[in-house]
Structure 1
Amino acid sequence: MTGPHRVAAVLIVGLALLLAAFTDPGHGDRDRAEPRPVLAGGEGATASSPPTPPTLPSGTPRWQSERVLPDRGMLIAYYGTAGSGSLGVLGETSPRRALRRLQHAAAPFERPGRPVRPVFELIVTVADGHPGKDRDFSHDIGRDAVRTYVDAARELGALLVLDIQPGRSDFLEVARRWEWALEQPHVSLAIDPEWRVRRGQRPAQVIGSVGAGEVNRTSAWLSQLVVEHDLPEKLFVVHQFRTAMVRHIGRVKPRDGLQLLQHVDGFGTRGQKLATYRAVARPDIFAMGFKLFYDEDVHRMGAKAVHRIRPRVRFVSFQ
């Protein structure tokens, strides 16, 4: 096409588009009513950025499409609190170094077609043997320390699970204090009934317990958080090593946006650990988790032994 003809063609197309805009009676209202498209690059994107292709079917909540457990895979965790190795291996070093050690520990669990995802399980509310200022026999670690793990897990591609040991407080009451972190898409929640004691009891002097009603109230709140904020599915972990630690466990309810997981924490010989697991496991309600202790276990199980456990273990943590 010659130069004059090309110019004429462009002018004709431009006039046609302009005419269509003025003759479409709903044009202006539609532009105001429709939300702006999501732009590549997140909040810093500009109007010239190409739109991000949609990753979910229209109308499908993220929690239905972004599952927290790898398909046929496992989650492998380091457990502990920030700045101290006394409660677990996680706090013995920085998050970045902990990830390198965790990846080494997780490698034997990998199988073809069965991916392994790293997890930091961070105790954010720690049970105490003394009443403390709130007289609830527990304390929260510093918010800055938790934010360090929130940011590090995001940067390193790990899942972060906030573990709470509430003392005499209600699990839901304590979980609400960590809402600011649980609003993050890669942050999940664990409750530890061993450290949920009643009036007149002290942590570490008795093995605590929780009723299904309190478990359900806590999971309902977390489920609402996931649904309202359109978050990916979260783990809701319940630690247990005695049947009495979760009263009326058969009444624990499934929740939208949550993968319920029962984490069996017994230590000792291989035979003792398997006996605890079989006595406690409720695979009809939960996916299953299993803890490996560096110090307390006798002839600690390796990956092959864990893979042979039935019901199948989907989450393994090292303490």
Structure 2
Amino acid sequence: MVLQRDSLKADSIARKTGQLPGAILPGHRIVAFYGNIRSKGMGILGREPKAQMMRKFDKVLAEWQAADPSLPVMPALHSVTITAQGAAGADGKYRLMNSKSTIEETRAWAKEKNALLFMDVQVGLSDLPHELPKLTEYLKDPTIHLGIDPEFAMATKNARPGKKIGTYDAKDVNYAINFLARIVSENHLPPKILIVHRFTQGMLTNYKNIKLDPRVQVIIDMDGWGDPVLKKDSYKAYVQKQPVQYTGFKLFYEYDIKRKPFHLMTPKEVLAELTPVPLYVQYQ
């Protein structure tokens, strides 16, 4: 009998300057447009016609590059691929995966832009072990990465998505890290990036138990909207004070300017007022 070596227990991992070859961070800043190309309500990615949205994206990328010329900007499309639903569905799990045609069209948009593609997962009453394997074949592409959203992880809340704010524990994040690390090892890929959204204390528990792996670069993304003062305070409270590895910050075209005198923070403001300076910036 031949024993199969567990690809998570690699014999050796060659590092260069503390990172694996091909690692995107910390040598770049990722700037992403978020949403779903089939939905006007989920974010900028689907809100405007494609050509108009891409022109806006080009402008934002140029603004970020001008604000910090020291770090190359890496464009990304962040697509909600498995979406929490208000209806239970046939299996009662309150989530729905995009069709293959939607995924492939989004992938084509990213390739046209020479951009990364993040596939975002909202599990509803399902869980990561049941949902992430659906994305395995896509994640074998070195340009495709993963996002997980505790807001819509409702198993511990026993509630429908949107009724309460969901939560992930370190063990859930560790599952995602190990899932990606295995794909990296088995397919000889550069490191993957994992985005974990967060805007409350309870959305991520036991963060100190998250076990990092050089095959996966972890970003905690401050996902709250509204008054810039509140957004900065949330970043300090839940991202700066509970660091995992790298940090992200989210800007909302609609909700950040909903009430006066709120405004959409500029790249220069984000860079000047957040510590550590985020290496991932997302527009919704």
TM beyond 0.5:
yes
Structure 2 letter corresponding to 1:99: M
Correspondent of 1:310 among 268, 275, 278: 275
Partner SS, residue 158 of structure 2? coil
2:55 to 90, 100, 103: 100
Checking the alignment, whether the CA contact within 8 Å between 1:99 and 1:118 is kept in structure 2 is no
Q: Displacement, 1:68?
A: 1.9
SS of equivalent residue, structure 1 residue 152: helix
- Corresponding residue for residue 211 of structure 2: 253
**Gaps spanning 5+ residues in structure 2: where?**
1-12, 257-261
Q: Percent identity?
A: 29
Q: CA deviation at 1:310?
A: 0.7
Partners of 1:270 and 1:299 within 8 A in 2 = yes
The structure whose Rg is larger is 1
More helix by share: 1
Query: Match of 2:116?
Result: 159
- Work out the CA distance in 1 between the residues paired with 2:180 and 2:51: 28
The superposition leaves residues 158-214 of structure 1 with CA deviations (integer Å, 9 ceiling, x where unpaired) of 000000011011123211101111111100000000000026311000000011112
The answer as to 2:249 corresponding to 1:293 is no
2:42 pairs with 1:87? yes
Pairwise CA RMSD: 1.9
**Are 1:116 and 2:73 an aligned pair?**
yes
One-letter identity of the residue aligned with 1:67? A
**Residues 41-56 of structure 1 correspond to what in structure 2 (within 5 A)?**
none
* Matched letter for residue 265 of structure 1: D
**Which 4+ stretches in 1 moved above 6 angstroms?**
none
Where do 5+ consecutive residues of structure 1 fail to align? Answer: 1-58
Which residue pairs with 2:5 in the alignment?
none
Q: TM-score, normalised to structure 2's length? A: 0.86
CA contact (8 A) 1:96 1:156 kept: no
Aligned counterpart, 1:78:
33
The answer on whether the counterparts of 1:183 and 1:229 sit within 8 Å (CA) in structure 2 is yes
1:190, 1:237 within 8 Å by CA — same for their partners in 2? yes
Amino acid at match of 2:95: S
The residue identity in structure 2 corresponding to 1:311 is P
Secondary structure, aligned partner of 2:279 = strand
CA deviation profile, 1:75-131 (whole Å, cap 9, x unmatched): 111000121120001013465653332121121111223211111000001101121
Partner residue of 1:52?
A: none
Per-residue CA shift, 1:42-68, capped at 9, x if unaligned? Answer: xxxxxxxxxxxxxxxxx9589811112
Query: 1 or 2 for the larger relative contact order (CA 8 Å, sep ≥6)?
Result: 2
Whole-Å separation in 2 of the counterparts to 1:97 and 1:230: 37
The 1:93–1:294 alpha-carbon spacing in structure 2 relative to 1, beyond 3 Å, is closer
Instruction: Specify the code of the residue in structure 2 equivalent to 1:179.
Output: T
SS in structure 2 at match of 1:281: helix
Matched residues in 2 for 1:296 and 1:249: separation? Answer: 28
Q: Judging changes above 3 Å, is the alpha-carbon distance between structure 1 residues 149 and 225 closer, same or farther for their aligned structure 2 residues?
A: same
Alignment of 1:181-200 (within 5 A): 181-198=138-155, 200=158
The CA distance in 1 between the partners of 2:22 and 2:33, in whole Å, is 23
Q: Is residue 79–residue 120 contact of structure 1 (8 Å, CA) maintained in 2?
A: yes
What secondary structure sits across from 1:65 in the alignment? Answer: coil
Question: How many residues of Structure 1 are paired with residues of Structure 2 in the alignment?
Answer: 260
| Letter aligned with residue 39 of structure 2 | S
Residue type of the alignment partner of 1:142: S
**Distance between the aligned counterparts of 1:115 and 1:134, measured in 2?**
44
